[in-house]
C-alpha cells in the first residue's frame, strides 16, 4: 500500500471526524442525564455562566491578539500563513468551547448520579464529560492538519502552512494556560484565605462568595487551559516531525522506508506522523469505550488502565501495520519509546505525589510550616531526575532508530493517546465540581462520600496527566529545536550560504544559552506575582461583601459570586499579558537582533531550565497538596485536621497552588511556544549573522 494514495490522504481527516462525532454523541448523552434539584442547578448555573463568561472574554482578547499577529504574519510571510495561523487558533478555541460546555453540564449531573447512590453511574457521567474535551481536542487537531495536508501536500508552501497552524495552536495554549492558571489559583487562594480571615467558614461553604469562582477556576484552568495545552503539544509534535521530514538531508533519512526513491520516501516520512496520530485516535476511541464498559470496577483502576493500555495497543498496531506500507520497524521503535516513556513519566509523577515522599513531607510539618516547605521543595527537586532520564532514554532510543526524525516520532508516539489523557484530565475538575455542588447544595454525607472518592482519583490522574504533559512538552521541544535548525540550514544552503554553526563554544550560542536560562524564571516570577495580586483583590471583595451585605454570615442573605468571578476574570486576562509577551517576543527579538545562532542557544538554554523547573514546580506543588490530604485522612495519628501539623500543611498547599497549576505549566508552555515561534520565523532570520 502507498501512504500517499488518495484514500490514505483522507485517513487523518476521517479519524478526526470519527473523534468529533464521538465527542458530539457523548455530549448529547451527558446533556440527557438528569440534573437534580433547583439548588443544584442554580449553583451549577453560576459555575457554567462564570466559566462561559471567562471564555467569551478571553476569546475577545485572543481575537485582538490573533488579528495583530495575523496581520504581522500576512505582511511578512504571506496571507496563506495568516489564514493557517487563524485556523490553528480557531480550532483550539472551538475544542475549548465544546469541552467547557460539556464539563459544566457534566458536573451537576455527576452530583445527581451520586445522589441516586450509583458510583458507577457517577463515574460514567464524569468520564463522558471529560471525553467530550478529549475527543474534541484530538479530533479537531487531526481535522485541521489533515485538511491542510490534503490541500497543500504537493505545494512548496506546505512547511509554512504547517508552522503557521502550529503557531496558532501555541498562541491560544499560551494564553489559555497562563490566564486559566492565574484565574484558577487566584480564586482558590483568595477563597481559602478569605475563609480563614472571616472566621468559621469552612471549605466550599455556600456563604463564601469566592467558592463559585473557585469552581469556575477548575473548569477554566484544568479543562480549557489544559485542553489548549495538550492540543498544542499534539499539533506541535506532528508538525515538528513533518517539518523535519521536509527538510532533513537525505542521507539521514534512508532507513525509514524499505523501498522507493527519495521523493516517495520523503513524502511517506511527511505523511507518517499524521497517519500514526490517526491510528492513535482510533485506539483512543476503543480504550474509552472499554473503560466505560468497566465502570463497575474501582474508579482508580479504570482511569489508571486507560492511561497504560494505549501505548501497548499503539505499539502492537504499528508493528502490524508498518510492514504493509514497506516502512521500517524502526518507526515502531521510535513510536514505542515515546509512548511508553510518557506512561512511565506519568507513573513516576504519581509516585512522587502519592507514595513515600508524601509521608515524608507530611511528617516534616510536625515541626512547623517551614520544615514542611523545605521538604516539599526537596522532593520537587529530586523528582526532576527520573522523568528527565526517561525523556533522555526515549530520545536516545528514537535517535538510534531513526535519527532526529525519530525523536520527533517519539513525541508523536507520546501524544498519540492525547484523547485518552485529555479525557482523564478533564474528568478531574468535573468530579471536583460535583463535590463542590453537593456541598453547596447541602446534600447528605453519602453523596459527598461518592463524589469525594471520584475527586480523589481525579487528583491522582491529574498528577499523572501533568507529568505526562510536561514530559511530552520536553520531547516535543527537542523535536521542534531540530526542526528549527534544519529549516534555517535548508534556507541557507538554498541561498548558497554555509550551514549555520551551532558549536557550543561559539559566543553567540553561549550567550543565547545564558539568556535562555533566564526566561523560565521570568515567567515563573510574573505568574506567581500575578496569582498573589489577583488573590489579594478577591480577598478584599469577599471581605467587603461580608461587611456590607447584612445577614450574609448568618445565611440570611445571598452572596454576590458574580462579582468575584468578574474580578478573577479581569485579573487573569490582564495578568496573562506580560508572561505571554515574554514567550512570544523573546525568540522574535533574539532571532532578528542576534540571529539564528543565538536563537538556537536561547531555545537550548530555556529548554534545560524550563524542563526541570516545570517538573520541579509541578511536583513540589503536588507533594504539598497531597501531604495536606494525607494528614486530613488521618495519616499522622494524633494530628487530625485542624491540628498544628495540618495548619502547617495548609501553608505548603497554598504555596503549591500557583507552583503546580500556574507557574509550572506556564513554564512548560513557554518552551513550547518559543520553539514553535522560532520554527515559524526560521526562514526570515536564517541569513542573519554568521
Tell me the sheet residues that pair with 327.
257
Say if residue 604 is exposed, middle or buried (CB neighbours under 10 Å; 0-12, 13-18, 19+).
buried
10 Å Cβ neighbour count for 434? 35
Q: Does residue 407 interact with a copy of itself by CB under 8 A?
A: yes
CA distances to 187, 396, 436, 574, 649 from 627, rounded to whole Å, are: 21, 35, 21, 33, 7
By CB under 8 A, residue 377 contacts a copy of itself: yes
**What cell numbers appear for 434 in the block?**
460535583
| Among the listed residues 507, 499, 471, the one whose alpha carbon sits nearest the alpha carbon of residue 601 | 507
Give the shortest CB-403-to-a copy of itself separation in angstroms: 8
Identify the sign of the CA torsion 80, 85, 86, 88: positive
Residue closer to a copy of itself (CB basis): 59 or 659: 659
Q: Which of 170, 164, 149 lies closest to 78 in space, CA to CA?
A: 164
Contacts with a copy of itself, 439-478, as mask; x by CB under 8 A: -----------------------------------x---x
Q: Does residue 378 interact with a copy of itself by CB under 8 A?
A: yes
Name the segment binding a copy of itself (CB under 8 A); options: 163-171, 193-201, 235-243, 544-552.
193-201
Burial of 556 (C-beta count, 10 Å sphere; 0-12/13-18/19+): exposed
Q: How near is the Cβ of 255 to a copy of itself at its closest, in Å?
A: 15
**Binding positions for a copy of itself, 613-642, rule CB under 8 A:** 616
Q: Is 241 in the site for a copy of itself (CB under 8 A)?
A: no
Residues contacting residue 512 through CB under 8 Å, at least 6 positions apart: 590, 594, 597, 598, 599, 600, 601, 602, 603, 604, 605
Phi, psi of 327 (to 5 degrees): -105, 140
Q: CB-wise, 185 or 266, nearer to a copy of itself?
A: 185
Q: Does 290 bind a copy of itself (CB under 8 A)?
A: no
Q: What beta strand segments (E) does 235-300 contain?
A: none
Q: List the one residue from 84, 126, 285, 509 that touches a copy of itself (CB under 8 A).
A: 509
CB of 146 or CB of 403, closer to a copy of itself: 403
**Residue 525 touches a copy of itself, criterion: CB under 8 A:** yes
Looking at beta carbons only, is 347 or 510 nearer to a copy of itself? 510
State the Cα–Cα distance between residues 277 and 285, nearest whole angstrom: 13
With helix as H, strand as E and coil as C, how does 380-435 read?
Answer: HHHCCHHHHHHHHHHHHHHHHHHHHHHHHHHHHHHHCCHHHHHHHHHHHHHHHHHH
Q: Does 395 bind a copy of itself (CB under 8 A)?
A: yes
Verify binding: residue 513, a copy of itself, rule CB under 8 A: yes
CB nearer to a copy of itself: pick between 43 and 611: 611
- Using CB under 8 A as the binding rule, whether residue 497 contacts a copy of itself is answered as no
Q: How far is the CB of 662 from a copy of itself (least distance, A)?
A: 10
DSSP 500: P
Lookup: cell for 527: 505568574
Q: Is 503 in the site for a copy of itself (CB under 8 A)?
A: yes
* Residue 311, CA distances (Å) to 32, 42, 242, 417, 616 in order: 33, 42, 21, 7, 26
Asked if 361 is part of the footprint of a copy of itself (rule: CB under 8 A), the reply reads no
Q: Is 404 in the site for a copy of itself (CB under 8 A)?
A: yes
146-165 positions binding a copy of itself, by CB under 8 A:
none
Cα–Cα dist 283/306, whole Å = 11
DSSP 251: G
Taking the least distance from each CB to a copy of itself, the nearer of 196 and 254 is 196
- Is residue 585 near a copy of itself by the rule CB under 8 A? no
Q: Which residues contact 412 (CB under 8 A, 6 or more apart)?
A: 237, 238, 241, 273, 276, 277, 335, 338
Please provide the size of the chain in residues: 690
**Closest CA relative to residue 619, chosen from 392, 355, 343, 395:** 355
**Span of 224-232, 338-346, 371-379, 446-454 interacting with a copy of itself by CB under 8 A:** 371-379
Give the C-alpha separation, 195 to 210, whole Å.
9
Binding part of the chain for a copy of itself, among 18-26, 253-261, 306-314, 516-524 by CB under 8 A, reads 516-524
Residues 6 or more apart whose Cβ sits within 8 Å of residue 23: 98, 102, 131, 132, 134, 135, 136, 139
Binding segment for a copy of itself (CB under 8 A), chosen from 21-29, 168-176, 254-262, 605-613, is 605-613
In the bound state with a copy of itself, the residue whose beta carbon lies nearer, of 13 and 618, is 618
CB nearer to a copy of itself: give 161 or 650: 650
Please tell me whether residue 364 binds a copy of itself under the rule CB under 8 A.
Answer: yes
- Between residues 21 and 197, which has the closer beta carbon with respect to a copy of itself? 197
531 binds a copy of itself (CB under 8 A): yes
Question: Could you say whether residue 12 binds a copy of itself (CB under 8 A)?
Answer: no
Could you say whether residue 368 binds a copy of itself (CB under 8 A)? Answer: yes
Should residue 143 be labelled a site residue for a copy of itself when binding is judged by CB under 8 A? no
Judged by beta carbon, residue 283 or residue 609, the one nearer a copy of itself is 609
Q: How far is the CB of 606 from a copy of itself (least distance, A)?
A: 8
Q: Total binding residues for a copy of itself by CB under 8 A? A: 79
Amino acid at each position: 500500500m502507498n501512504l500517499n494514495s488518495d484514500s490514505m490522504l483522507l485517513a487523518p481527516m476521517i479519524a478526526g471526524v470519527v473523534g468529533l462525532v464521538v465527542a458530539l454523541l457523548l455530549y448529547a448523552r451527558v446533556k440527557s442525564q438528569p440534573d437534580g434539584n433547583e439548588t443544584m442547578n442554580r449553583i451549577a448555573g453560576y459555575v457554567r455562566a462564570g466559566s462561559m463568561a471567562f471564555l467569551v472574554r478571553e476569546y475577545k482578547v485572543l481575537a485582538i491578539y490573533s488579528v495583530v499577529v495575523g496581520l504581522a504574519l500576512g505582511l511578512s510571510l504571506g496571507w496563506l500563513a495568516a489564514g493557517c495561523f487563524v485556523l490553528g487558533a480557531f480550532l483550539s478555541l472551538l475544542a475549548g468551547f465544546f469541552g467547557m460546555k460539556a464539563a459544566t453540564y457534566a458536573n451537576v449531573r455527576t452530583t445527581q448520579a451520586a445522589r441516586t447512590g450509583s458510583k458507577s453511574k457517577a463515574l460514567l457521567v464524569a468520564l463522558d464529560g471529560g471525553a467530550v474535551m478529549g475527543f474534541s481536542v484530538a479530533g479537531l487537531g487531526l481535522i485541521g492538519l489533515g485538511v491542510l495536508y490534503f490541500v497543500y501536500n504537493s505545494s512548496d508552501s506546505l512547511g509554512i502552512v504547517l508552522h503557521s497552524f502550529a503557531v496558532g495552536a501555541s498562541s491560544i495554549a499560551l494564553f489559555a494556560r497562563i490566564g486559566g492558571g492565574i484565574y484558577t489559583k487566584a480564586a482558590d487562594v483568595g477563597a481559602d484565605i478569605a475563609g480563614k480571615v472571616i472566621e468559621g467558614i469552612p471549605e466550599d461553604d455556600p456563604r463564601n462568595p469566592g467558592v463559585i469562582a473557585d469552581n469556575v477556576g477548575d473548569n477554566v484552568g484544568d479543562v480549557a487551559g489544559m485542553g489548549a495545552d495538550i492540543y498544542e503539544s499534539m499539533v506541535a509534535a506532528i508538525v515538528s516531525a513533518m517539518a523535519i521530514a521536509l527538510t532533513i538531508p537525505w542521507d539521514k533519512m534512508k532507513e525509514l522506508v524499505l523501498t522507493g526513491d527519495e521523493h516517495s520516501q520523503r513524502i511517506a516520512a511527511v505523511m507518517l506522523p499524521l497517519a500514526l496520530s490517526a491510528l492513535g485516535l482510533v485506539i483512543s476511541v476503543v480504550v474509552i469505550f472499554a473503560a466505560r464498559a468497566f465502570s463497575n470496577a474501582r474508579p482508580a483502576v479504570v482511569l489508571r488502565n486507560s492511561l497504560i493500555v494505549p501505548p501497548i495497543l499503539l505499539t502492537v498496531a504499528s508493528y502490524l501495520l508498518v510492514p504493509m506500507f514497506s516502512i521500517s520497524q524502526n518507526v515502531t521503535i521510535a513510536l514505542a519509546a515515546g509512548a511508553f516513556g510518557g506512561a512511565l513519566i506519568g507513573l513516576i509523577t504519581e509516585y512522587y505525589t502519592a507514595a513515600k515522599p508524601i509521608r515524608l513531607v507530611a511528617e516534616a510539618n510536625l515541626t512547623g510550616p517551614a520544615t514542611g516547605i523545605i521538604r516539599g521543595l526537596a522532593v520537587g527537586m529530586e523528582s526532576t531526575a527520573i522523568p528527565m532520564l526517561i525523556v533522555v532514554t526515549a530520545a536516545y532510543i528514537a535517535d538510534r532508530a531513526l535519527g532526529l526524525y525519530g525523536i520527533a516520532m517519539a513525541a508523536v508516539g507520546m501524544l498519540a493517546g492525547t484523547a485518552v489523557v485529555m479525557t482523564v484530565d478533564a474528568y478531574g475538575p468535573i468530579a471536583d465540581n460535583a463535590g463542590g455542588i453537593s456541598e453547596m447544595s447541602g446534600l447528605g454525607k453519602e453523596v459527598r462520600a461518592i463524589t469525594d472518592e471520584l475527586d480523589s482519583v481525579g487528583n491522582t490522574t491529574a498528577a499523572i496527566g501533568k507529568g505526562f504533559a510536561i514530559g511530552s512538552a520536553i520531547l516535543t521541544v527537542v523535536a521542534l529545536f531540530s526542526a528549527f535548525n534544519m529549516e534555517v540550514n535548508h534556507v541557507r544552503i538554498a541561498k548558497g550560504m554555509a550551514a549555520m554553526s551551532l558549536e557550543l563554544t561559539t559566543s553567540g550560542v553561549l550567550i543565547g544559552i545564558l539568556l535562555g536560562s533566564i526566561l523560565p524564571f521570568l515567567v515563573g516570577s510574573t505568574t506567581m506575582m500575578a496569582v498573589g495580586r489577583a488573590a489579594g483583590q478577591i480577598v478584599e471583595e469577599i471581605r467587603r461583601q461580608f461587611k456590607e451585605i447584612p445577614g450574609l454570615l448568618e445565611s440570611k442573605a445571598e452572596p454576590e459570586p458574580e462579582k468575584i468571578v468578574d474580578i478573577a476574570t479581569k485579573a487573569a486576562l490582564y495578568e496573562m499579558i506580560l508572561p505571554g509577551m515574554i514567550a512570544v517576543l523573546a525568540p522574535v527579538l533574539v532571532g532578528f537582533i542576534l540571529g539564528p545562532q543565538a536563537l538556537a542557544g536561547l531555545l537550548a538554554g530555556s529548554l534545560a531550565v524550563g524542563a526541570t523547573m516545570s517538573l520541579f514546580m509541578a511536583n513540589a506543588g503536588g507533594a504539598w497538596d497531597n501531604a495536606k490530604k494525607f494528614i486530613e485522612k488521618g495519616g499522622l495519628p494524633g494530628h487530625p485536621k485542624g491540628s498544628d501539623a495540618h495548619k502547617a500543611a495548609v501553608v505548603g498547599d497554598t504555596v503549591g497552588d500557583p507552583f503546580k497549576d500556574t507557574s509550572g505549566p506556564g513554564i512548560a508552555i513557554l518552551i513550547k511556544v518559543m520553539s514553535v515561534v522560532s520554527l515559524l520565523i526560521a526562514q526570515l532570520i536564517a541569513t542573519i549573522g554568521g
